[in-house]
Amino acid sequence: MSLFLVTGGAGFIGSNIVEELLKRGERVRVLDNLSTGKRDNLAFVQGLQRPSASYEFMEGDIRHLDTCRRACHGIDYVLHQAALCSVPRSINDPLASNEVNVCGTLTVLMAAREAGVKRVVHASSSSVYGNSEVLPKAESQVPSPVSPYAVSKLAGECYCQVFTKVFDLETVILRYFNVFGPRQDPSSQYAAVVPRFIQRALDGKPLEIHGDGLQSRDFTYVSNVVDANLKAAEAPDASGHVINIACGQTSSVLQIADAIASTLGKKLEYHHTPARTGDVRDSLADISKAQQLLGYQAHVGVLDGLRNTVTCFQNLRARGG
């Protein structure tokens, strides 16, 4: 049985990865400083872990080398999800994004190398492609970041590739495309569009749409990303590669809003605001490389994912969460 370290494991994507690993009977260690992650995201652990020694939580910061060394001790695979994940946040505070996403990633890689970790799977972002008009986005395209967040993610990718080439540490880079699903925080000023829309819809408030709403994204339900991480940890030919993780289909922001309204059976009002600086206009992934190297398929489509997410938000609200 392998031992997995999930950095950022109390966050949205990280906690979903932890849940699936424990369901599979794997041993899991979580490292999270709880700056954006929440212990409540891991409330499921008590009911899932088997045996009792299969789960460990470490509160700590990925920017601290000694902390990462302790976290990586005895680890087989690192699933590196910890990051400050927001374009607007990075524009407001570029230094913080750099410290966490670049320096933190470098620190994790150093500790993983010292500990003899088999492989690091690094969470990157489709934002590195920038505003290229070429669709779909393929990994062979030259990156062209248009925000500090995108720059920080690209720098993390470069560090992973250098550690593979220079230090023989296996790494796989997954470029996520607009992930959504249960446990995604709708309350932050930097909240992603799907949880923000759902919360406002449940509150009976108009949905705030940046720009004309025709900007498109390859919205990806979180269980697809979880599956990609677990496949990437052990896929024999994946080391050293950058791989898109998405559904391979595109939806406009207005289409997502309409789908949420349809799911709730409500007529929702939309309020348009100015387009945000640093936002990419259109995004669509070529996922053929993921299919080839990982055997990846997007098993949950956008509409089913939205229905699942709306239901989870409704259930959470019914419980007073």
Q: Which amino acid is at 38?
A: K
The 3-class SS string of 78-138 reads: EEECCCCCCHHHHHHCHHHHHHHHHHHHHHHHHHHHHHCCCEEEEEEEHHHHCCCCCCCEC
Q: Which of 129, 149, 159, 176 is flagged as catalytic? A: 149
Instruction: Give how far Cα 17 sits from Cα of 22, 26, 112, Å.
Output: 9, 11, 19
Q: Which amino acid is at 190?
A: Y
The backbone torsions φ and ψ at residue 19, rounded to the nearest 5 degrees and listed phi first, read -60, -45
Judge contact between 213 and 256, C-beta under 8 A.
Answer: no
Token pair listed for 294? 């990982």
Question: Which one-letter DSSP state was computed for residue 282?
Answer: B
Place of tokens 């920080």: 152
Question: Which one-letter DSSP state was computed for residue 285?
Answer: B
Q: How far apart are CA 48 and CA 64, in angstroms?
A: 30
Token pair listed for 128? 């590195």
Residue (of 177, 185, 170, 178) closest to 15 by Cα position? 185
149 carries an active-site annotation: yes
Q: How far apart are CA 64 and CA 108, in angstroms?
A: 9
Catalytic residues: 149
